[in-house]
Amino acid sequence: MRLDLTSLDRLHPRLSLWQVIAYEQHAASGLGRHGHRPGAELATSLDATPGQASLHWSQSTPSGSRQLDRHRITEEAAEAISLAVVGVGLGWTIHRRMQRGECGDWILHDRDERRVALEVSGVDRGPCAQRLRDKTAQVSGASGVDERAACVVELASPRAELVSGC
């Protein structure tokens, strides 16, 4: 599975170009601080099914990211990678962003046009299990959707773990 962070807007046409560029910059910065380069292998776990993907980006020294704190870069990198994983791996596309307090970050449509609430989080280094449990619990409160999912990305490895049916 090839995940091209330069073309997130092709996977998710409702993302604006500035946001795609920002996501790519932050992913480049977050992955770069662990020594990863374009083409890095991403270990995936989609509902406990293991897999591999390659991550591609074009910007190696994003100057704009220096103004942002480490935590924000981690979260934004996780958003970029998660949106690529669900777009390429599951065929989900962004319907709209949810506001803070709505028990999820995104509403997406799956291939059958069902509504999926997705909560995303990032970890710089270390285990994802507890964070995934927290995010699963959080998104379980989302209303007006057919499916609920949580995705946690760890940048050091890197790896992405997604659980649906929350």
What does the binding site for another protein look like in residue numbers (CB under 8 A)?
A: 13-16, 19, 72, 94-102, 107, 115, 143-145
In whole angstroms, how close is the CB of 7 to another protein at the nearest point?
A: 17
Distances (CA, A) of 138 to 10, 62, 69: 29, 32, 24
In whole angstroms, how close is the CB of 11 to another protein at the nearest point?
A: 14
In whole angstroms, how close is the CB of 97 to another protein at the nearest point?
A: 4
Residue with tokens 């909560």: 119
The answer to whether the CB of 73 falls within 8 A of the CB of 31 is no
Nearer to another protein, 40 or 107 (CB): 107
In whole angstroms, how close is the CB of 90 to another protein at the nearest point?
A: 19
The answer to whether the CB of 77 falls within 8 A of the CB of 5 is no
Query: CA 26 to CA 114: how far, in whole Å?
Result: 30
Nearer to another protein, 7 or 45 (CB): 7
In whole angstroms, how close is the CB of 48 to another protein at the nearest point?
A: 28
Nearer to another protein, 16 or 49 (CB): 16
Nearer to another protein, 27 or 53 (CB): 27
**Nearest-CA neighbor of 106 among 125, 132, 124, 79?**
79
Q: How many C-beta neighbours within 10 Å does residue 76 have?
A: 23
**Nearest-CA neighbor of 12 among 102, 104, 80, 103?**
80
